[in-house]
Structure 1
Amino acid sequence: MAENSLKHRFLQGDALKALDKVDNNSCRLVITSPPYNIGKEYERDRRRSLEEYVEWLKPIVEKACKKVADDGHLCWQVGNYVNNGEVFPLDYYFYQMITAQGFRLRNRIIWHFNFGLHATKRFSGRYETLLWFTRSEKYHFNLESVRIPQLYPGKRHSKGRAGKAGLPSGNPRGKNPSDFWVFDPEEALKNNAVWELPNVKANHPEKTFHPCQFPSELVERCLLALTEQGDTILDPFVGVGTTVLAAAKHSRSAIGIDQSEKYLKLARKRLSDLRAGRLITRPLGKPVRRPKAGERVATIPTEWKVAAE
């Protein structure tokens, strides 16, 4: 797919209004992570109650669903809303909104990570969810592009399997990834080969000044499995452009919408840097680094030792 045949557009404005500039049934994939209503910098002037938040997003969801092609997909990634210590799983509300538009849920993917906000009166939240919907029973799914190595390649069928006894039980091309994407390389190695996916924090190579950035790898995996080269991808809450960059990286067209001029200015620069070969992104499938014994970050602080005595 020639680069000059692809289109990468950024639209500034309110998502509900800007979506009118996108043709209905024109996108093979709509993927986004909307504001969670938890007080980030882009929410502080419009903090809503849970009921207000749901009502605000309903018409945006309805309009976004109309942009999905008949054989297309919608991936909606969210966390939890917490009010006075009570947790409200946002995917519950979005599931209702999206299925009301006739979409079918194919996977509820759990994205687990080790770093996040700490809690003192409940367990610290360390996961978010990605809901993958299709518009119909006719949809594209390219498993070959996202297979992972077999954990037990030497495993064979038991004697009770007629015609297969003693033969290798796994697929030589690799296994189908689970719907649990985890930031825990030891667990992935020893128990369950799943996708490792760290969140974008201070030392992540993709980190910008955006306070709630989701990783390119999350978008890339959905994009590779659910679309083909030349398809159009839409993100109605694109932030600093991660979805558009992932699309450009894999020869897809993309449309990104955001109300922030500051974020879109950086998104355009990142796209320019990607095209020029200057943008650093985390390689797809790269193992997560664990600190070695003796490193400062892996050493118990002296203060802790003194306090325990």
Structure 2
Amino acid sequence: MQKFYEKEDVILFQGDCIEILSKATPESIDMIFADPPYMLSNGGMTCQSGKIVPVNKGKWDESKGLNEDFEFQQKWINACKRVLKPNGTIWISGTYHSIYMCGFALQKAGFKILNDICWFKPNASPNMSCRYFTASHETLLWARKDPKGRHTFNYETMKNGDWGDDILKKPNKQMRSVWQIETPKPSEKDFGKHPTQKPLELLRRIILASTDKDDLILDPFTGSSTTGIMAVELGRKFIGIDVEKEYLDLSIKRFEQVFLKKAKVWQ
């Protein structure tokens, strides 16, 4: 497989994740974070940064109908299962348009679902039609490959860590399954943005919860590589895959910024 980018503990590939993962080393990944297409690009409109904009994100986000969409979810989840270590875990982010398919596909593939997390967005965009409740959360599924295995969960870090502006997390209390985290800050989009970009703080919590230093993390739909940026900052290794060169180029700019900052620290 030809690498699109490689530096220090980061590797990026361009292409279809199902095809690329079929050639990857089996049982080599400690944790996977996946933000698969929500299949929402249908010609509608939404609100973004106070402006009305088209929902359309690209061909990669267009629905092909219920059966084909579910088949796609099954294929990439099975491809991920092949490369995940026996005690490894996978996180999947989605809305109601996709997350139930992913959950069923996980169960069919033999995963054990550990938690469903409600990521509450206090600064979510309003609903433009005024005919629905405002969508102010996404669901995260966390699952283990081996139902009888023993996964990594850094309980004390979750209980006693610094979780910033999350008013739902009480000091010295167990981390609960509802997380208040704002959408990405402007500083996280210095080089441009991905239409479904996740905040660094969300990935910080996920990576600290379910990995240890030097673990290898995979994101099969890496986009602008928020997962990878936080993996590097927390001392983990990272592999990212995406079909879109535009977003891989954006990822590289973000990685180079992180590596430059690290280099200056050591000067």
The TM-score with structure 1 as length reference comes to: 0.69
Per-residue deviation at 1:147? 2.1
Query: Matched residue of 2:187: which SS?
Result: coil
Does 1:147 find its partner at 2:155? Answer: no
2:31 corresponds in structure 1 to: 29
Greater C-alpha Rg: 1
Contact 1:37 1:43 in 2 (8 A): no
Task: After superposition, give the CA deviation of every residue in 1:190-229 in whole Å (9 maximum; x if it has no partner).
Answer: xxxxxxx1112xx532133311101122112111111111
1:134 partnered with 2:144: yes
**Equivalent in the alignment of 2:167:** none
Kindly indicate whether the alpha-carbon contact (under 8 Å) linking 1:229 and 1:250 is maintained by their aligned counterparts in 2. Answer: yes
Partner of 1:257: helix, strand, or coil?
strand
1:24 partner letter: P
Q: 1:241 aligns with which of 220, 225, 250?
A: 225
2:83 is aligned with 1:71: no
Identity of aligned residues (%): 28
Pairing 1:120-199 to 2, within 5 Å after superposition: 120-136=130-146, 137-148=149-160, 174-182=172-180, 197-199=181-183
Select between 17-26 and 237-246 the one with higher mean Cα deviation. Answer: 17-26
For residues 69 and 259 of structure 2, the distance between their equivalents in structure 1, rounded to whole angstroms, comes to 37
| 2:168 corresponding residue in structure 1 | none
Alignment equivalent of 2:109, drawn from 101, 124, 143:
101
- RMSD value, Cα: 2.3
Q: Distance in 2 between matches of 1:231 and 1:134?
A: 16
Task: Indicate conservation of the 8 Å contact 1:232/1:254, yes or no.
Answer: yes
Aligned length in residues = 229
Match of 1:252 in 2: 236
- Counterpart of 1:206, as a letter, is E
Q: What is aligned with 1:220?
A: 204
Give the stretch that moved more between structures: 19-28 or 61-70.
Answer: 19-28
Matching residue's letter, 2:32: V
**For residues 111 and 63 of structure 1, what CA distance do their matches in structure 2 show?**
26
Residue 306 of structure 1 corresponds to which residue in structure 2? none
- TM-score w.r.t. structure 2 length? 0.79
Greater strand content: 2
Please, which runs of 5 or more residues in structure 1 have no aligned partner? 82-89, 151-172, 183-196, 279-309
Letter in 2 for 1:33: D
Measured after TM superposition, the shift of residue 112 of structure 1 is 1.1
CA distance in structure 2 between the aligned counterparts of 1:271 and 1:108, rounded to whole angstroms: 30
Taking a change above 3 Å as real, the CA distance of residues 30 and 49 of structure 1, as seen in their structure-2 partners, is same
Q: 1:100 to 1:80 in 2, by over 3 A?
A: same
Mean Cα deviation higher: 222-231 or 269-278 = 269-278
The 8 Å contact of residues 109 and 129 in structure 1, kept in 2 or not, is answered as yes
Task: Give me the whole-angstrom Cα distance separating, in 2, the residues matched to 1:41 and 1:104.
Answer: 32
Q: Distance in 1 between matches of 2:256 and 2:99?
A: 34
